[in-house]
Structure 1
C-alpha cells in the first residue's frame, strides 16, 4: 500500500489528525497532550524549519516550559547525536560526582529513560539566548536534519557548538513502539505529514498553581488561538494506521 493511500485512509478516519497534519505542513503551531498516565502535559509544537523569533517568544511567554527540538531517530544516528545520559556515564568513569547523579533505572516516574541529547547554539549566534538567536539555531537544526536525511555529507560540529541554549531530544529508535513521549509523538506526526522530522516542543505551564497547565486550560488556550489540540492516543492510533501495523 502506498504512502498516499495510507494517508487518504488516515484522513478519512480522523479529521482532527488531518487538521493537525495540514497545520504542520503550513508551518503552523499545534498542541499535543501526551496522556493522563504519563507526564500529563500539553506541549506547543511546531516544525523546526518554520520557527521565527515570534514563535520562540510565544513559547517562552505563553507556554513557559523548556524549548527543545525533537529529532528523528534515523537523523540522530546519522548526525551522531548522543543521549546525554550516555555521555555522563562515560564521563563518570573519571568523576565520582557524575556517577552519583547520572540517570538510573527507576529514576523517572513517567518513563524508562530521558530523550535529552546535547544543548547547542548555532555558530552564527553570539550568546544564543535571545529569541532571534534561538530561532536561528532551531531553524538550522531543522535544515541540517533535512540535509542529512537527504544524503548530504554534513557535519554537525561545523555548524553548532555545545554547551548552548537549545536542548536537543533524540527520539527513541522504535519511535512510538518504544516510547510515547512528546519527542516521539511530534516526530511521528512529522513523518505522517511528510515534513522534516525535527520538531520544536515546549511544555505549557500554569502561572498560578506552579504545575503543568491542565488539559482543560490548554484546550481553552488552543480554542482562543485557533490551534489544533491532539491527544497522544490519537497520534498513536493514526501512526499505526499510517505504518500499516494496525
Structure 2
C-alpha cells in the first residue's frame, strides 16, 4: 500500500477529510472528501464554505438500486459524471439545511430505509459508482467509494469540488495550497488504481461491501 493511500485510509477511518485528485488528462480537478458513515452537519457546512463547489454523495450501484434511485434522465455517455435523481428524506423540513441533508445522507446508508421514504426531486445529489470502481472508471465518484471500502467503512462518501479564491476550479498549485492550509492529505485516483491492481484483497466494492452492509 502506498503511503498516500495509507494516509488517506487512516484519515477516513478517523472521520477526517482527504483531497482526491483525478488525472490531468481527465477533469484535472480536486475534490474534498469524507466518508458518508462519519460525516457530521459541521463537516457538511465546512465542505460548502471551504471547498465551495458542488456537493454530492457517492454510492455503490447496488444501494441505489435497492432505493430505486436511477441515473438522471439524459443520454448518459461513458465517462460522464453519473448524477442520479436528487432526493430528500421524507421527514426533513425544507431539505436544504445541512441538518436536513445529513438526515437524508444517513437514510441513504440505512438498510431499513425504503424507496417510498424519499421525496424526489430533493436537495441531496447521489452519484452512482461503477461496480468495478476505479479499475473501470477513474473518477472521484469511484475513488471515494473504493477508499471507504478498503478502509472497512460503509462504501459511500461525500464529495465537494474545490474552488480557488476567485471561484474558479482549483488545479495544481491551488489544490496543493488548499490541502496545506488545512493539513489534509492528498491522494490521486491513480494511487488508488495502483493499490487496487497490486492488492488482490482490495476487491471491487460491489462484491465486498454488498456482503458486509446489506
TM-score range with shorter-chain normalisation? 0.7 to 0.9
| Aligned residues between the structures | 203
Q: 1:138 aligns with which of 102, 105, 108?
A: 105
Determine which structure has the larger helix proportion and give its number: 1
TM-score (norm 1): 0.76
Q: Which residue of 1 aligns with 2:186?
A: 229
What are the residue-to-residue correspondences of 1:181-196 with 2, within 5 Å? 181-196=139-154
Q: Which secondary structure does the structure 1 equivalent of 2:50 belong to? A: helix
Q: Which residue of 2 aligns with 1:126?
A: 93
Q: List runs of 5+ in structure 1 lacking aligned partners.
A: 1-9, 89-101, 106-110
**CA deviation after TM superposition for structure 1 residue 30, in Å:** 0.7
Q: Does 1:52 align with 2:9?
A: no
**CA deviation after TM superposition for structure 1 residue 71, in Å:** 0.3
The 3 A distance-change label for structure 1 pair 197 and 104 is closer
**CA deviation after TM superposition for structure 1 residue 80, in Å:** 3.0
Q: Which residue of 1 aligns with 2:14?
A: 26
1:220-240 CA-partner distances (Å, limit 9, x unpaired): 221221211111110111122
TM-score (norm 2): 0.86
Q: Select the structure of larger CA radius of gyration.
A: 1
Q: Which residue of 2 aligns with 1:155?
A: 114
What are the residue-to-residue correspondences of 1:53-202 with 2, within 5 Å? 53-84=41-72, 88=73, 102-103=74-75, 105=77, 112-142=79-109, 144=110, 147=111, 154-158=113-117, 160-202=118-160
Q: Which residue of 2 aligns with 1:96?
A: none
Q: List runs of 5+ in structure 2 lacking aligned partners.
A: 203-214
